[in-house]
Amino acid sequence: MIIRFKDTDRVLILTTLFLVVAGIMMVYSTSYIMAMERFKDEYFFLKRHLSFTLIGLAGFFITMHVPYRAYKKMAYPLLVAATILLSLVFVDVFGVDAGGARRWLEFGSVRFQPSELAKVAVVIFLAYSLEAKRDKIKTFSLGVVPHILIPALPIVLILLEPDFGTSMVITAVIFLMMFIAGVRITHLVPLGVMSLPLIYYLVAGTAYRMRRILIFLNPWKDPTGEGFQIVQSLIAIGSGGLYGVGFGEGRQKLFYLPEAHTDFIFSVIGEEFGIIGVLLVFILYLSFLLCGVRAAWKSPDLFGTYLASGLTSLIVLQAVINVGIVMGLLPPKGLPLPFISYGGTSLVVNMAMAGIVLNIYKKGCEG
Amino acid sequence: MSKGSRWLKVRLVSLLVFFLIAFAGLTVRAFQLQIVENGRLKARASDQYRKTIDILPERGEIYDRNLNELAISMEVDSVYAQPCMIEDRRTAAEAVSSIVSVDAGSVYKRLRDKSSFVWLKRQIDMPETERSIVRGIRGVGLLKERKRFYPAPQLASNMIGFVGYDSIGLEGLEWRYNNYLRGEGMKIAGLRDARGKEMVFDDGDVSHASKGSSLILTLDRTIQYIAEKELLKAATNANAKAGIAIVMDPSNGEILAMASYPTFDPNNFRRYRPRDWRNRALTDLYEPGSVFKIFLVAAALEEGVVEPNDIIYCENGGYRVADRIFHDTMKHGWLTVKDIVKYSSNIGAVKLADRLGRSKYYRYINEFGFGKKTGIDLPGEVSGYVRKLQEWSRVTFSTISFGQGISATPIQLITAASAIANKGVLMRPYVVKAVVSPDGEVVKEVHPVIERRVVSEETALEVTEILKRVTKDGGSGERAAISFVDVAGKTGTSQKPDPVNGGYAQGKYISSFLGYAPADSPRLAIIVMIDEPSGDFYGSTVAAPVFREILKQSMAYMGILPNKGGESIKPVKLAAIRRTNDDIEGGRMPDFRGKSMRMVLRMAKRIPLEVKVVGSGKAISQRPSPGGKIGRNRTAEVRFQ
């Protein structure tokens, strides 16, 4: 090993690997019946997930060795590339329609979700830009405006896919990073307040989003219609109890839990492993959070600090939102659970992000 | 963090705290859902699995006495949808309606239903190509269901009846024995599975466990066919309004055939008028006419008021009683009691009844079963009408002696005549010999029921001798005679009452013949009634030939004719009903017990075997049991706990 592992390195690596292993198990558990039914191969999704895991491990290994400062130079190119890829989604030759949304690019047999790349690109750009403008950070024109306006294009493109969840997560992470970088609270809060009408418009503007919002407030009102998914998710988690019904034995995935292997995989964790399993997953994310914040803390420069806290926030925030949705605390938005949900791009990108955080931490320890 | 300010550290810690609070909130929620509300949500979960769809059970078969199928269950497809699984209802509705003959609008309406399961079209026959198209539509699936089918459409349909939607018997035996035939209502739990149209159940094959029991009738398909064929021929030739023919084994009351005209096809019963559905043998009342003289002479002989050879003056065809004058078709002077029956003299009957006395006659009418139901195991039987003794006028008494002014059902008449044939003992008629479960177990077996002795054996034999002469040369029933075998019987030609004007309707008659053969050891009792024949209306010319044809052909079939030897009608063999599914190559059942549902499904897939799962957890029991043979339908049931 090129890197000499210290304690925190080990914790971060183990945390990431545990999450990935949990993902492998749950993808199998949630998909084997459906896979058998659709493809006559119970391992269909598992096999694909495993190959993504291998690519992810490679990404993890590479990024943990690439000095994170290299990303500084790539901040703009990455952002431009991500934006172009996001636009390509709307070009019929490359874009793929799935479930009423265009979130995928297809090159031959390779499918790819550009919004996942865009998330990283935005975070890298912000870390770079916030560090570059650290002296003027308290000013509105330099501390706030560019960090809102420049990522706005990819965010809007994601919003158009439509992928409301991902765009909200990116926006939230931008705010968190600006907060970390010391942008005035008096700038951030009014901005947040000002964006509320916009969010409201986005929510209420499309009927299906509004319906989802209203349903989340009381899913039991219409358990067979709009509230169906949430109600089924709550039933799954709730019937798990203390210890759960056992690995592979969950029945909600058989009965009415659509997308059990992707966005609602956490419901099956709750059902099959009970509150014990739920808390274990929480602990893994908290461990990742602590490692991430420690990396930010230890980083030799502000770019590393911002990058580490941005990437960590991206992963942990998405986990919080996903779990919040699945538990009926947030309106359903269709976000994968980082590391665990089935989905190639997301897994590979998440593991690469973990690698970057690890590299920042390593540099911090060396410096 | 070389250049890190204190504030940066504070902000990083705030970030940490922000997420810690978020996870604390999530933990509280998890606790609430999984610990506090665990019971409620768990109950809701199992509710939801157990919430079932009623699948029509496989209805038991109806067999004749030789186990020929009269009514069977055919496997057909039913198309269902789970509306909540369908995103584009319009497209799905159009796709379904292009295959199934239901218009897209009504399919769409059903798809908009909030429920999680709706039928789109039940019980249709579709080729495999169409099946796979239907299965391809997301949220739409197929279930195997059973539909009632009558392989010989018109055969005994008035007796068997028919089945409505939802496998509920509406008429006849299907109605009467519905509880046995229908079986346990089939519930399929797993089918609530959302996507899994074919996941656990592969088309949700209806398991044999739910199949209803089968009926084995006393009916003989061939005799029934003969009776229907001859009745139809006679009724159409005579352009009659209706007709009935019943064939009964007088020794035990088993109904061998029961034919009605007009009849209907129970496969398409809705296309017929409800009156065509009627089993006229027990629902319709007729004035029996001269066939009723059988019972008068039996009563008179039993009471010893006359001897068969006593002579009675028949007034040369005209006899005044109170304000009425009775006529005979043919004028007779002195006639023996025997000849009164042979030539069917009404005047002779009136005088015979006078000698018997009205109260005794009344008692015998009741003893022979008139005025009350025979108790046959078929629905819709009426009791007929016998005026109370106190209401008998002089004229009533006289008309009843030759079968007018009294009403009876054909089944009552044949049951009463069978009592004479059966040496004076009246048997209760019945059509269901046994009820047999799908496993071949006899659930219910019906034995002949002796109602009572009506007349002594001597009297019965005397009456038989008298009735034999009816079919001899010069008798009113000579057209009922067949070669080599003595036939005992009596003709009847009765006028129909006029419901509008009172009295009797002009030109409306019922021609009948009631008898049994071989006279000395009766095997078959037969009644034939032709309602409102046009043109010729005498029982001797309209009904007697039908009787003869039914008798002749049935006896030839049964091998009773002397030149065919003496083999009798076969008794119902219940053992033969046991189906030998075991013999079909199917492999042996593995031992699923103790395994998880996942393992069981995986093992079953390999065999292959369709598994119906009940409960959840570990397998605790299975059917067939481990090592048992896998049946032809390749299904098994595994219970989990």
CB contact under 8 A, B19 and A182: no
Which residues touch B278 (CB under 8 Å, ≥6 apart)? B158, B260, B284, B380
pLDDT category of residue B192 using cuts at 50, 70 and 90: very low
Neighbours of A366 (CB within 10 A): 10
Interface of A with B in 32-71 (CB under 8 A): 32-34, 36-37, 42
Report how far residue B45's alpha carbon sits from residue B111's, in angstroms, rounded to the nearest whole number: 24
The size of chain A, in residues, is 367
pTM score: 0.56
Interface of A with B in 85-104 (CB under 8 A): 100
Neighbours of B112 (CB within 10 A): 12
- Give whole-number Cα distances, A164 to A106, A125, A158, A333, in Å: 21, 21, 7, 7
Q: Could you tell me which residue, B25 or B541, shows the higher pLDDT? A: B25
Find, among A152, A140, A84, A139, the residue nearest to A112 by Cα.
A84
**B246-260 per-position pLDDT tens digit:** 999 999 999 999 999
At residue B385, does pLDDT exceed 80?
yes
Residue A359, in any domain of the structure? yes
Beta-bridged to residue B171, according to DSSP, are none
Res B186: pLDDT: 55
Residue A325, in any domain of the structure? yes
CB contact under 8 A, B11 and A258: no
Contact A160, A134 (CB under 8 A): no
Residue type, A300: P
Structure tokens at B211: 């199949």
Architecture of domain B221-564: 3-Layer(aba) Sandwich (3.40)
Res B538: pLDDT: 78
Interface of B with A in 332-351 (CB under 8 A): none
Q: Could you tell me which residue, B201 or B66, shows the higher pLDDT? A: B66
pLDDT category of residue B208 using cuts at 50, 70 and 90: very low
Query: Beta strands B62-63 and B214-217: pairing type?
Result: parallel
Query: Beta strands B334-336 and B311-313: pairing type?
Result: antiparallel
Structure tokens at B150: 């009558």
pLDDT category of residue A6 using cuts at 50, 70 and 90: low
**A44-57 per-position pLDDT tens digit:** 999 999 999 999 99
pLDDT category of residue A118 using cuts at 50, 70 and 90: very high
Please tell me if residue A275 touches chain B, with a CB cutoff of 8 Å: yes
Residue B1 has its nearest CB partner, among A37, A299, A327, at: A299
Chain pair A-B, CB pairs under 8 angstroms = 167
Q: In Å, how far from its chain's centre is CA B263?
A: 14
Q: Could you tell me which residue, A366 or B287, shows the higher pLDDT? A: B287
Find, among B296, B346, B344, B345, the residue nearest to B454 by Cα.
B296
* E strand spans, A68-175: 95-98, 101-107, 110-112
- Give me the torsion for CA of B30, B35, B41, B42, rounded to 10°: 120
Q: Could you tell me which residue, B592 or B456, shows the higher pLDDT? A: B456
Residue B19 has its nearest CB partner, among A257, A258, A289, at: A289
At residue A4, does pLDDT exceed 60?
no
Residue A225 has its nearest CB partner, among B48, B84, B602, at: B84
Q: What would the mean pLDDT of B5-18 be, rounded to a whole number?
A: 90
What's the CATH number of domain B582-641, 3.30.10.20, 3.40.50.450, 2.40.30.170, 3.40.630.30?
A: 3.30.10.20
Please tell me if residue B215 touches chain A, with a CB cutoff of 8 Å: no
Beta-bridged to residue B638, according to DSSP, are B613, B622
**B278-329 per-position pLDDT tens digit:** 899 999 889 998 899 999 999 999 998 998 888 888 888 888 888 888 888 8
Spans of all domains in chain B = 53-161+186-214, 221-564, 582-641
Q: What would the mean pLDDT of A132-158 be, rounded to a whole number?
A: 90
Residue A242, in any domain of the structure? yes
Neighbours of A283 (CB within 10 A): 13
CB contact under 8 A, B45 and A252: yes
Q: What would the mean pLDDT of A74-89 be, rounded to a whole number?
A: 92
**B152-168 per-position pLDDT tens digit:** 878 888 999 988 877 78
Residue A261, in any domain of the structure? yes
Per DSSP, helices labelled H in B161-246 are 172-176, 178-182, 221-237
- Give whole-number Cα distances, B354 to A72, B308, B313, B562, in Å: 130, 16, 13, 42
- Complete DSSP assignment for A266-300: HHHHHHHHHHHHHHHHHHHHHHHHHHHHHHHHH-S
Beta-bridged to residue B77, according to DSSP, are B124, B144
Largest Cα separation within chain A, whole Å, is 61
Mutate to test the interface with A, among B195, B199, B597, B641 (most CBs of A within 10 A): B195
> If you average pLDDT over every residue of chain B, what do you get?
81
Contact B361, B400 (CB under 8 A): yes
Secondary-structure percent of chain B, ordered helix, strand, coil, rounded to 5: 40, 25, 35
Domain that holds residue A174: 7-366
Res A302: pLDDT: 92
Structure tokens at A11: 């914790």
At residue A146, does pLDDT exceed 80?
yes
Res A289: pLDDT: 95
Interface of B with A in 162-201 (CB under 8 A): 190, 192-196, 198-200
Residue A265, in any domain of the structure? yes
Res A154: pLDDT: 94
Residue A161, in any domain of the structure? yes
CATH code, residues B53-161+186-214: 3.90.1310.10
Residue A352, in any domain of the structure? yes
Gyration radius (Cα) of chain A, Å? 20
Residue type, B14: S
Percent of chain A with pLDDT over 70: 89
Q: Could you tell me which residue, B209 or A16, shows the higher pLDDT? A: A16
Res B199: pLDDT: 34
Residue A1, in any domain of the structure? no
Edge-first strand order for the sheet with B242-249 is B254-261, B242-249, B524-531, B504-517, B488-497
Comparing A293-297, B148-152, B462-466, B503-507, the range with the smallest average pLDDT is: B503-507
Residues of B marked active site are found at: 290
Residue type, A33: I
Please tell me if residue A138 touches chain B, with a CB cutoff of 8 Å: no
Which residues touch A209 (CB under 8 Å, ≥6 apart)? A164, A202, A203, A331
Give chain A's domain count.
1
Using the Cα atoms of residue B498, residue B504, residue B510 and residue B516 in order, give the sign of their dihedral. Answer: positive
At residue B563, does pLDDT exceed 60?
no
Buried b (16+ CB within 10 A) or exposed e, B147-159: bbbbebebbbbbb
Q: What would the mean pLDDT of B569-581 be, rounded to a whole number?
A: 48
> If you average pLDDT over every residue of chain A, what do you get?
87
Contact A16, A60 (CB under 8 A): yes
Q: Could you tell me which residue, A227 or B295, shows the higher pLDDT? A: B295
Buried b (16+ CB within 10 A) or exposed e, B7-43: ebeebbeebbebbeebbeebeebbeebbeebbeebbe
Contact B400, B539 (CB under 8 A): no
Percent of chain B with pLDDT over 70: 86
**B525-540 per-position pLDDT tens digit:** 999 999 988 888 777 7
Structure tokens at A264: 């609602």
CB contact under 8 A, B34 and A176: no
Report how far residue A351's alpha carbon sits from residue B464's, in angstroms, rounded to the nearest whole number: 104
Beta-bridged to residue B527, according to DSSP, are B246, B514
Interface of A with B in 171-190 (CB under 8 A): 176, 179-180, 182
Residue of A nearest to B640 (CA): A249
CB contact under 8 A, B196 and A258: no
Largest Cα separation within chain B, whole Å, is 146
